[in-house]
Amino acid sequence: MTRKLAADFFGTFWLVFGGCGSAVLAAAFPELGIGFTGVSLAFGLTVLTMAYAVGGISGGHFNPAVSLGLALANRFSWKELLPYWIAQVVGAIAAGAALYAVASGKAGFAAGGFASNGFGTLSPGGYSMQSALLIEVLLTAGFLIVILGSTSKAAPAGFAPIAIGLALTLIHLISIPVTNTSVNPARSTGVAIFAETGAMGQLWLFWLAPLVGAAVGALIWRVLLSTGEEQD
């Protein structure tokens, strides 16, 4: 169990440090040309690379919503859910702290939003709470369907990390303007702590919506898509 938790800790650390780091460190310089597309790709690459690196140890969740969805789909033990959540959140906070330590080494540094998620005045595009809630639920549900489908016995072996990484890239391309993209409560928590905005006050939505979305995605998979499939 210790190896599983360590693997998901490091995977979540990598996701937050790499994905949010691309936004905080690289996207701040327009001349680099990274923009939303680069940040989206960075998040996808973090999941793809760590899924190959440690997915064979922990399953490569790196996300409390994914762990919940897998448990609801009978792909993951309920008794391991809380330990995984703790490892993921601690990994995300450690990554946020490491990123803050690096970013604050620049003269004139101000944390600002620090790649945190938000709605209303904290939404990159000024989208409402209702829009943020809906898109986070829908995209997390879709993410779970991709994860469950690409890791099913019917899927080609060895390609799941690619499908999952590309799905996360697509998710960011869609929703960065709306919420700065969460679909991951640990990712949201890890940077909200260091933001100088009201991100912590809105964090509840970025736990609620991904968890609900994960449950919806797992239900859709079990009821409509996996009939007759032997569960792992």
Distance (Å, rounded) from C-alpha 104 to C-alpha 215?
38
pLDDT in tens, 68-93: 999 999 999 999 999 999 999 999 99
Residue 27 pLDDT: 72
Measure Cα distances from 98 to 42, 149, 184 in Å: 17, 34, 19
Distance (Å, rounded) from C-alpha 166 to C-alpha 159?
11
User: Residue 121 class from Cβ within 10 Å (0-12 exposed, 13-18 middle, 19+ buried)?
Assistant: exposed
Q: Are 215 and 67 in contact (CB under 8 A)?
A: no
Q: Identify which of 81, 203, 220 has the alpha carbon closest to the alpha carbon of residue 140.
A: 220
What are the percentages of helix, strand and coil residues in the chain, rounded to 5? 70, 0, 30
Q: Are 143 and 212 in contact (CB under 8 A)?
A: no
Tell me the two tokens of residue 214.
């994960």
Task: Categorize the per-residue pLDDT at 232 as very low, low, confident or very high, splitting at 50, 70 and 90.
Answer: very low
pLDDT in tens, 139-183: 999 999 999 999 998 888 899 999 999 999 999 999 999 999 999
pTM here is 0.94
The DSSP symbol for 130 reads H
Within 13 A of 177's CA, how many CA atoms are on the CB side? Answer: 5
Task: Categorize the per-residue pLDDT at 229 as very low, low, confident or very high, splitting at 50, 70 and 90.
Answer: low
Domains and their CATH numbers in the chain: 2-225 (1.20.1080.10)
Tell me the two tokens of residue 5.
């938790």
